[in-house]
Amino acid sequence: MQGYKFNTEEEAVAARKAAADYKGLPVNPVSTTIYWVDYNYSDLDGYYYIRYIDGLEAVFGDPTDVTITPHEEI
């Protein structure tokens, strides 16, 4: 998958806010849409990531390959 990796949750939260600010979100204090994107954590890989969506390169630059290790089925 294409996206952006972050080492800490603080970096991921700041990135999510930067993307929301770029899009002008939230539109008002009672808006239901607060963020443009959200971050996830890969516990097996030890990093946070945001999946690439069209237009996000305007905030973070070109996306990179992000590989997530799936959990094994029990």
Q: Where are the domains of the chain?
A: 2-65
Coil vs helix vs strand at 21: helix
The alpha carbons of the chain give a radius of gyration, in whole angstroms, of: 14
Looking at residue 45, its pLDDT comes to 96
Per-residue confidence in pLDDT tens, the chain, 74 aa: 999 999 999 999 999 999 999 999 999 888 888 999 999 999 999 999 999 999 999 999 999 999 999 988 65
- CA-based angle 38:54:32, to the nearest 5? 40
